[in-house]
Amino acid sequence: MICPLLGPAAPDSLDDGACVPAPGEHLVLTTDSYVVSPPFFPGGDIGRLAACGTINDLAMQAAEPTYLTLGVILEEGFPLRDLARALQSLAGVLAETGMRVAAGDTKVVERGKGGGLFLNTTGLGVRRYAADGRVSSAQPGDAVLLSGTIGDHGMAVMTRREGLRMEPQILSDVAPLWGMIRELLEARLPIHALRDPTRGGLTSALCEIAAASKTGIRVRERAIPVRPPVRAACSLLGLDPLNVANEGKALIVLPAAAAERALAILRANPLGREAAIIGSVEKCPAGTALLETAIGGERQLTVPLGEELPRIC
């Protein structure tokens, strides 16, 4: 039943192996499993999440998404119409991005031995641009751009799970970022680092860039866009929006001189309308990310410990 659901993205029959022409010289491979609970949440579902997660992992390495493999692990009793909805959702994103399903596999486990629906997607991408998005390449003098509001995905899942009703409702930001990133690459902007702040949120992404590039990253809390209901839900649940997962946002690090041009390109894209320059890369303190708080203080960001948000992806 799975192939027809995958629509234009799928070959006629989805064997567990397929031969494809090498799409280029520099390939990028990425893999992720998706176990989000619940599988349907405001603004998205596990299928859309799996497609976007893979596309965005490739995009963050400046790689054009080409082929995807799909592993489905289904618990007996999981409604087939829900499987269909999730896969149609995945197929829609792939069709939009021009990515094709190359191979697939389905396993069914007994009731009580699975979590409903798990998906694994592996992406094969090709790097056609000079930039490579490595987080280790941030340099003092760079600006740090964020493509939009943070915390939407994590709080959409979390409020649904906890039965919290926010007004207006919080929707996941889950979206495929390749189109927007490609616009930056095509403009030949000298991008030094790319990262999507998924699990662990903006905090983890900033800490990773600072640590890998041995630079000091300084961001201004006031410059970081957070929607009011996300901020309110975080307060209720005792969470910091900076630590909450996103699935449709990117951090872009590039020389300050190119920041305004990059910002204009981001804002012209529907997924980047609320993009902002949130900070800068400095020499010291090397390996550290600092937050200038809204009330004028300064604190060091540290990678969230434990699982603030289990199964948000």
User: Which positions lie near a second copy, rule CB under 8 A?
Assistant: 16-22, 24-35, 37, 57-58, 60-61, 63, 67, 69-73, 102-110, 112-115, 118, 120, 122-124, 127, 132, 307, 310-311
CB count within 10 Å of CB 108 equals: 13
Choice between 29 and 257, CB closer to a second copy = 29
Q: Which is nearer to a second copy, 62 or 219 (CB)?
A: 62
129: phi then psi, degrees, rounded to nearest 5: -120, 160
CB of 180 to a second copy, least distance (A): 18
User: What is the DSSP annotation of 49-113?
Assistant: HHHHHHHHHHHTTTEEEEEEEEEEEEETT--HHHHHHHHHHHHHHHHHHT-EEEEEEEEEE-TTS
For residue 207, report the phi and psi dihedrals to the nearest 5 degrees.
Answer: -60, -40
Residue number, 69 or 215, with CB nearest to a second copy: 69
Q: Which is nearer to a second copy, 61 or 149 (CB)?
A: 61
In whole angstroms, what is the distance from residue 91 CA to residue 110 CA? 27
**Shortest spacing between CB 128 and a second copy, in angstroms:** 12
Instruction: Please report how close the Cβ of residue 29 comes to a second copy at its closest, in angstroms.
Output: 4
Q: Which of 110/167 has CB closer to a second copy?
A: 110
Amino acid at 295: I
Shortest CB 118 distance to a second copy, Å: 6
* Nearest distance in Å: CB 42, a second copy: 22
Tokens for 89? 């959702």
Residue (98 or 228) nearer to a second copy, CB: 98
Tell me how far, at minimum, the Cβ of 133 lies from a second copy, in Å: 9
Q: What is the dihedral of CA 162, 163, 167, 169, to 10 degrees?
A: 80
Amino acid letter, residue 37: S
